[in-house]
Structure 1
């Protein structure tokens, strides 16, 4: 039952994502039919930097719905069930997660929180409990199998598994959903595990589609101030209240 490290691999990106987003934006402001320009976009007749610059300028205006036409698919391993429960709260996405009902967890990997890892006595207690859980799971599985549950023994034995249990999941999000995900989960107020996942996903997105993701991240990075109240702000940026004090701009 080893500690499982985070792994984020990019499986797929919508082909010709930049040109697709560019053409979707252009259709909003173009009298013609963008399908007629599509062959020129694919051939390189319209420079990619010209496309990227157009996309960036329109995004800066606040018009962002056309970026939904492109999506990214990630394979993620080394996250806890606690983390995956947070991820699936993002509803504009598709998920395929490893099933504890069908996958044998006798040799369950787990995620060790850094705060626990730093304290020897906390780490020792945590690891002892993980060992206890593993023994309980195996014992229950064996007992259930002996009483005729066969392959279904796993679906009942899994009830003792902790939130620390490692899981694997495939995630697909369109670019607009990803921008929202990064706004929330790259924030210093996000839980450490999902923030690490979001940062790793963002690295892939910036490499693949910088026109959309070069300035993506926590919301404060695009706003230039923290949208949280002073009570919850981490201090990286001034809060809105600090920037816009009552009476500002008055004669």
Structure 2
């Protein structure tokens, strides 16, 4: 992982909903949606995309909740992932700083550098402070181990040492959401006013979604500079 660019977040689609008969997420939405109209007899090999597009244009987004996508995010700071977990309708599994040993995060380049730090010529200063914190974290781990061994405390080493960790440290996370919630997330987190890191990784995620599920997500227009996106009017 390079820290020089300041933006390292990556999104990997792990899976998405499929029907028991092998129907993809778009076909699954059609099967559910046509129940409302008792029009299952109109299902053909190529009817799903048209049906889902109709739902989207009419604003009937409750129907697209029947399909979901799971995504793994890596290279994102704790500051970024804590913006994601604020969203409600999702399943979340995140790297635990309580159970994971984060020592060596500096030497492993397991942290994020804000572009402003680089632009201001403060990269060396910033990295030196992170190096210090990494050292303090490891020192606290050792002191806690000694105290536990001596019977002075029943505390947990990583659980308590993590209080020294900065928001810059990376934190891997997997989230699963239905299509409607993903649309809400993209609307909020790719907006030009969103924080730079979450915007960067969510624009990348949106591109992948548009490639796989265009009929659900192609009404988002990505800016020419690739740094933001906006929902267009139908």
Report how far residue 152 of structure 1 moved.
2.0
2:12 counterpart SS class: strand
Instruction: Name the residue aligned to 1:66.
Output: 63
Report how far residue 208 of structure 1 moved.
1.5
Report how far residue 164 of structure 1 moved.
0.6
- Go from structure 1 to structure 2 and tell me whether the alpha carbon gap of 1:215 and 1:2 turns closer, same or farther (over 3 Å shift): closer
Equivalent residues of 2:93, 2:174 under 8 A apart: yes
Segments of 5+ residues of structure 1 without an aligned counterpart are 225-251
Distance (Å, rounded) in 2 between the aligned partners of 1:168 and 1:215: 29
Q: Deviations over 1:96-130 (max 9, x none)?
A: 0000011101111111011112222x212211110
- Go from structure 1 to structure 2 and tell me whether the alpha carbon gap of 1:154 and 1:2 turns closer, same or farther (over 3 Å shift): farther
1:11 counterpart SS class: strand
Equivalent residues of 1:117, 1:123 under 8 A apart: yes
Distance (Å, rounded) in 1 between the aligned partners of 2:35 and 2:190: 32
More helix by share: 1
User: How many residues were matched structurally?
Assistant: 212
Output the aligned Cα RMSD: 2.3
Pair 1:134-2:138 in alignment: no
1:201 counterpart SS class: helix
- Go from structure 1 to structure 2 and tell me whether the alpha carbon gap of 1:119 and 1:219 turns closer, same or farther (over 3 Å shift): closer
Report how far residue 5 of structure 1 moved.
2.1
Distance (Å, rounded) in 2 between the aligned partners of 1:5 and 1:220: 22
Equivalent residues of 1:12, 1:73 under 8 A apart: yes
Out of 168-177 and 206-215, give the one that drifted further: 206-215
Equivalent residues of 1:2, 1:110 under 8 A apart: no
1:102 counterpart SS class: coil
Distance (Å, rounded) in 1 between the aligned partners of 2:28 and 2:52: 11
Equivalent residues of 1:205, 1:213 under 8 A apart: yes
Instruction: Name the residue aligned to 1:103.
Output: 100
Instruction: Name the residue aligned to 1:229.
Output: none
Report how far residue 219 of structure 1 moved.
8.0
Length-normalised TM-score, structure 1: 0.78
Segments of 5+ residues of structure 2 without an aligned counterpart are 19-23, 222-227
Instruction: Name the residue aligned to 1:20.
Output: 28
Equivalent residues of 2:220, 2:230 under 8 A apart: no
Instruction: Name the residue aligned to 2:225.
Output: none
Distance (Å, rounded) in 2 between the aligned partners of 1:126 and 1:29: 60
Instruction: Name the residue aligned to 1:117.
Output: 118
Equivalent residues of 2:16, 2:25 under 8 A apart: yes
Distance (Å, rounded) in 1 between the aligned partners of 2:148 and 2:52: 61
Pair 1:182-2:192 in alignment: no
Identify the match of residue 205 of structure 1 among 205, 209, 230. 209
Instruction: Name the residue aligned to 2:167.
Output: 163
Out of 149-158 and 69-78, give the one that drifted further: 149-158
Report how far residue 69 of structure 1 moved.
0.5
1:141 counterpart SS class: helix
Report how far residue 216 of structure 1 moved.
3.0
